[in-house]
Amino acid sequence: MVSSIYFFGAGRADGDATMKALLGGKGAGLAEMSRLGVPVPPGFTLTTEVCTAFYAGGGALPDGVEEELREAIGRVEKIVGGGFGSTTAPLLVSVRSGARASMPGMMDTILNLGLNDAIVAGLAERTGNERFALDAYRRFILTYAGVVLGVEREQFEEALVTARRKAATALKIDHSRLNNAELERKVPDSALDPEALRGLIARQKEIVLAATGKSFPDDPWAQLEGAIHAVFGSWNNQRAKVYRKMHGIPESWGTACTVQAMVFGNMGDDSGTGVAFTRDPSTGERRFFGEWLPNAQGEDVVAGVRTPHPLSKGGSDDERSLEVRMPQAFAQLMEVQARLEHHFRDMQDMEFTIQEGSLYLLQTRNGKRTGRAAVRIAVEMVKEKLITQNEAVLRVDPGSIDQLLHPSLDPSAPKEILARGLPASPGAATGEIVFTADEAERRAAQGKAVILVRAETSPEDIHGMKAARGILTARGGMTSHAAVVARGMGKSCVAGCSSVSVGRDIVTVSLYDDDGRPTGSKSLKAGDVITLDGGSGRVYLGAIPTVPAALSGEFGELMAWADGVRRMRVRANADTPHDARTARNFGAEGVGLCRTEHMFFDEKRIEAMREMILAGDKHARHRAVDKLLPYQRDDFTGVFREMAGLPVTIRLLDPPLHEFLPQEKAQLEQMAQVLGVSVAEIVRKNEELHEFNPMLGHRGCRLAVTYPEIYEMQVRAILEAACDVAAEGVDVHPEIMIPLTMTQRELTLMRELVDRIAEQVFSEKGRKVSFHFGTMIELPRAAIRAGEIAEHAEFFSFGTNDLTQTTLGISRDDAGKFLGAYVDLGIFPSDPFQSIDVDGVGALVELASERGRAKRPGIHLGVCGEHGGDPASVTFFEKVGLDYVSCSPFRVPIARLAAAQAALNAGTHGGPKATD
Ligand code: ADP
Ligand code: MG
Ligand code: MG
């Protein structure tokens, strides 16, 4: 039988870094560190397979695991020279969760396991530190009661407050007016003496007995079994589920469970614990960076209750830096971090504990980082010859560079600074203050931009953090929960903003002048607007304008490497010259979709458009349409100039005509007056145009089948504009695209129309420009009959928005009510309007591509739906071998990077590029 347990310790390990699927990230990292000779307390990992078997067995450990467990504990005992359950040399362990993908803080971990009253006495004797032994026990009971026995935390909080008040009285501190937070500051955990701790422990046990009807378990083996059950069980707690859904982590993976000998950072002033990064996770700068707390256990840093100190010197808190306080341990940590980064060839995020001067590493993993940091780290590591350019391209999550492409605060805008905190996660965010995660979710669902303001966040707040634009916390450092999670989500976060005090429904901000003298305070309530700058840690009052992102430097270098390996072209959906310019700045290689209807909503133009709609006969229609021609021609001229040398695909009018008519009374009257018709006539026209299901109604090329004048005008405008700019010397490549085609015959008619107008225009202008003619494929019938359709079409552009709607028979606008449930229940792996439904819609894309190519070898194929900017969909389009994807201008760099990664993963890089 395969082993259920993998051991590590004393410079050896059964597992290694490649075994994340089996040992979880944490277990694999500990095994690898142990092999490298990095100081790691010994322990062992129960595999994710045991977790899966645990669930399959209805919540019981599989046969044989218990024997392996006893044997493994025996090996740990040998290495540390203690005994599990021994009163003379007690071995305590932590029981830690850890899945294949890191899910920080989402699952449970229990520290200091293996204690009862007798063992505590033994531990006190052996360490000569009774306070420490009792503190370890009361912490253990607290977590164990919550995590394993399911006792509500609240009563324990009360017990702790009572203990603090007693201690305060003993210390002769007047505590009658102190609130709980102030009390904690005056009487920290370290001020609780043995007697206070003993009282607290007794009270905790009473709470457990009252809540569960059973005494707190004294048998270390029973404790261990309970903890392992709870850790496996925590895979399915609510917050872990939410996190998995957000990050696309499969439910089936399960968590591993690591049991490890404890080391103690809370044994006095020569002990401590901290978190370190080999590079700055916020900016990517190559500097060792982190935080620590003296005389503390690991959980204290993450909890954010005490404000941690820096590791290195060089700031305002040098006196309390680890470098100054424990130079030897610091030097050793520096050596270890350099070794780990070099070994893993990526930025590491490490947990460490120092027990009486000796350093131990407790975790290492590839650190989470902002998009900005990801780009900088990848590029710098190439320069340091740590990784290759292709590796760098694969390192950066395309979704994460979104942050770089968005605006930051306008430096010249007037701003009123409210407060300064830590720059925990960059980006500018403006929104209304909300105080709870639930409220954040509620307001965001109503379309409001909100900033979640909390004293500190905990994993229970995750849904609110997801819904908020930004997060502001009063407490906690750069590695607090809020900071880590916000960086992972790419959200703006200012943490540890200590001048802010957060009440139930009010924030009070203490104000200071430039010299730091207090000048008063300001109160804000829910709904007040603030702006965060997560890059500088500043908080401002009100909304502040923003400026566009800078795309040069490291970002430019990485994108150049990506462009060097991708096969597919990337175009943009751009309707105006302005959008076309933005797109080109972002690296678009053409316009994949220029929608013409947007051009008609302008005040002047809509009049002519309405006149056309109301026209009673062909002549009146012609007259109205002719008024539109110059406007339309100007639009195309502008786009062609911006896209000189690159293809521009223009889609002829697509939406149903009623969209252009007003519905409200005042507007109806105005229109009647302008056009000199009666209101009644417009109302009648509105009724005539009314459709039960406009999405499937009189739209797309169906408009031109009945009223060819519109398309005739549009084709004329396109080709006249093309001739005009060609005369200026602009290299112009128009592509005329017919929407909503379903049969060959439709396209025959459209082709005749286009050729007829082209001949007229070219003879009038005395010059010819070459252009392409093609169609959208956005109806299942068109995909199926793609062979015939390709007889006329020189290109297909897959309109995957409509193709998804028509293939699934789901209207995107009406899907909100049930699509969430479809994703929750696994009917769809993800929202098919965001990420292409590979099996259904994708299969049609593939089929149409094959049939199109069979009829017309070399037919040009692209995508212009939302999916063109979605990395997962881009991977699929590379597989089908499309020539290009087209997406909104801001997503062009994301698509370029995604296309490069898709090519590297499919092995299609390095060959010739797709034709443009
Ligand atoms: P998480 O995944 O939430 O970080 P961990 O399992 O890493 O949970 O543990 C929580 C905290 O407890 C961390 O700070 C970790 O360093 C600390 N810790 C875990 N095991 C031990 C141990 N054996 N000795 C000392 N501290 C530990
Ligand atoms: Mg950890
Ligand atoms: Mg469409």
Write out the two tokens for 149: 């026995």
Pairing of strands 272-277, 289-294: antiparallel
Please say if the pLDDT value at position 523 is more than 80.
yes
Write out the two tokens for 759: 């001949």
Query: Mean pLDDT throughout 176-203?
Result: 88
The answer to whether 143 and 111 are in contact (CB under 8 A) is yes
Query: Higher-confidence residue: 534 or 259?
Result: 259
β-bridge mates for residue 259, sequence order: 44, 95
Is 481 assigned a catalytic role? Answer: yes
The enclosing domain of 161 has a CATH number of: 1.20.80
Instruction: Encode pLDDT of 736-752 as tens digits.
Output: 999 999 999 999 999 99
**Choice among 42-51, 110-119, 479-488 with the minimum mean pLDDT:** 479-488
- Residue 349, in any domain of the structure: yes
Write out the two tokens for 633: 């021609």
Residue 776 CA neighbour count, 13 Å, CB half: 26
- Residues 736 and 598 placed together within one structural domain of the fold: yes
Structural domain range at position 440: 407-547
Q: Which residues of 511-533 are buried (b: 16+ CB within 10 A; e: fewer)?
A: eeeeeeeeeeeeebebebbbbbb
DSSP one-letter code for 326: -
515: helix, coil or strand?
coil
Assign 406 a pLDDT band (cuts: 50, 70, 90).
Answer: low
The answer to whether 896 and 885 are in contact (CB under 8 A) is no
Query: Mean pLDDT throughout 467-473?
Result: 95
Write out the two tokens for 814: 């009406």
Residue matched to tokens 């993998």:
6
- Residues 8 and 88 placed together within one structural domain of the fold: yes
Which atom belonging to ligand 1 lies closest to the Cα atom of 105?
3
Please say if the pLDDT value at position 882 is more than 80.
yes
Assign 251 a pLDDT band (cuts: 50, 70, 90).
Answer: confident
- Residue 383, in any domain of the structure: no
The enclosing domain of 458 has a CATH number of: 3.50.30.10
Please say if the pLDDT value at position 2 is more than 80.
no
Q: Report pTM.
A: 0.82
Q: What is the 3-state secondary structure of 688-732?
A: HHCCCCHHHCCCCHHHHHHCHHHHHHHHHHHHHHHHHHHHCCCCC
- Residues 540 and 422 placed together within one structural domain of the fold: yes
From 498, 520, 547, the end of a domain falls on 547
Assign 515 a pLDDT band (cuts: 50, 70, 90).
Answer: low
Please say if the pLDDT value at position 1 is more than 60.
no
Please say if the pLDDT value at position 901 is more than 80.
yes
From 217, 252, 274, the end of a domain falls on 217
- Residue 683, in any domain of the structure: yes
- Residues 701 and 588 placed together within one structural domain of the fold: yes
- Residues 96 and 150 placed together within one structural domain of the fold: no
Instruction: Encode pLDDT of 193-248 as tens digits.
Output: 999 999 999 999 999 999 999 999 999 999 999 999 999 999 998 889 888 887 87
Q: What is the share, in percent, of the chain residues with pLDDT greater than 90?
A: 69
- Residues 458 and 443 placed together within one structural domain of the fold: yes
Please say if the pLDDT value at position 125 is more than 50.
yes
- Residues 100 and 225 placed together within one structural domain of the fold: yes
- Percent helix, strand, coil in the chain, to 5, is 50, 20, 35
Residue 269 CA, ligand 1 centroid: distance in Å: 20
- Residues 640 and 709 placed together within one structural domain of the fold: yes
- Residue 488, in any domain of the structure: yes
Write out the two tokens for 220: 């270390």
Q: What is the pLDDT of residue 485?
A: 81
299 lines ligand 1 (CB under 6 A): yes
Residue 775 CA, ligand 3 centroid: distance in Å: 11
CA separation for the pair 140, 156 (Å, rounded): 12
Which residues make up each annotated binding site for substrate? Answer: 595, 651, 778, 799-802
Residue nearest to atom 20 of ligand 1 (CA): 94
Residue 396 CA, ligand 3 centroid: distance in Å: 32
Which atom belonging to ligand 1 lies closest to the Cα atom of 265?
25
Question: Residue 504: which of 526, 477, 519 has the closest Cα?
Answer: 526
- Residue 559, in any domain of the structure: no
- Residue 615, in any domain of the structure: yes
Domain count across the chain: 5
- Residue 239, in any domain of the structure: yes
Which atom belonging to ligand 1 lies closest to the Cα atom of 102?
2
Q: What is the pLDDT of residue 300?
A: 74
> Cα Rg for the chain, rounded, in angstroms?
33
Please say if the pLDDT value at position 14 is more than 70.
yes
Please say if the pLDDT value at position 143 is more than 90.
yes
- Residues 452 and 465 placed together within one structural domain of the fold: yes
Please say if the pLDDT value at position 304 is more than 70.
no
The enclosing domain of 40 has a CATH number of: 3.30.1490.20
Query: Mean pLDDT throughout 643-653?
Result: 97
263 lines ligand 1 (CB under 6 A): yes
- Residue 710, in any domain of the structure: yes
Q: Considering the chain, what is the average pLDDT of its residues?
A: 92
- Residues 528 and 595 placed together within one structural domain of the fold: no
The answer to whether 365 and 349 are in contact (CB under 8 A) is yes
- Residues 225 and 192 placed together within one structural domain of the fold: no
- Residues 691 and 732 placed together within one structural domain of the fold: yes
CA separation for the pair 77, 79 (Å, rounded): 6
In sequence order, the 6+-apart residues with CB closer than 8 A to the CB of 558 are: 375, 378, 379, 392, 393, 396, 897
582 lines ligand 1 (CB under 6 A): no
**Number of C-beta neighbours around residue 50 at 10 A:** 23
